[in-house]
């Protein structure tokens, strides 16, 4: 069997909290040294690719930020192909960052989309506006 691409989840597979699981560094180094396309996935929308690269580096695993694909990136990629460019967002910095990169205006006035992501600051006013 010839491996042509590698797609791997992050949380619980390569990292547990901020600690690399045993063998993760060697696995990723081997993939990168072979020049195989690599995508590291997470459904955690609150970190950018650079944030994740820094998190991995702190755990002793060096990978470029370009290999990461987050749920925030997936959201922005999906919405980029839809009509409308105004979004009301209940979420944190990385989600908003990805939407800005995709050309969206973040507003609570007549948005085309309401996006609810992970945040530590949910409140009634946010949810009322979202509805």
CATH code of the domain covering residue 60: 3.40.50.1000
Question: Residue 30: is it exposed, middle or buried by C-beta count within 10 angstroms (0-12/13-18/19+)?
Answer: exposed
Same domain, 56 and 77: no
Task: Express each pLDDT in 49-70 by its tens digit.
Answer: 999 999 999 999 999 999 999 9
**C-alpha–C-alpha distance, residues 44 and 75, integer Å:** 12
Residue 1 lies in a domain: no
DSSP code for 21: P
pLDDT of residue 44: 85
Catalytic (active-site) positions: 9, 11
Q: For the residues 91-110, what does the mean pLDDT come to?
A: 93
* Segments forming the whole domain that contains residue 14: 6-70
Note the Cα 31 to chain centre separation in Å: 21
Whether residue 65 sits in one domain with residue 24: yes
45 neighbors 95 (Cβ within 8 angstroms) = yes
| 81 and 56 in a common domain | no
Paired residues of 44 in beta bridges: none
């Amino acid at each position: 069997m010839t491996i042509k691409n590698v797609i791997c989840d992050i949380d619980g597979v390569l990292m547990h909290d901020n600690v690399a699981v045993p063998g993760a560094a060697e696995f990723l180094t081997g993939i990168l040294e072979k020049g195989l396309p690599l995508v590291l996935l997470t459904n955690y929308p609150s970190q950018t690719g650079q944030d994740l690269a820094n998190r991995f580096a702190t755990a002793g695993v060096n990978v470029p930020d370009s290999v990461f694909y987050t749920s925030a990136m997936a959201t922005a990629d999906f919405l980029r192909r839809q009509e409308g460019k105004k979004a009301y967002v209940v979420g944190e910095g990385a989600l908003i960052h990805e939407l800005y990169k995709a050309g969206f205006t973040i507003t609570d006035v007549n948005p085309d989309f309401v996006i609810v992501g992970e945040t530590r600051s949910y409140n009634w006013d946010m949810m009322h506006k979202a509805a």
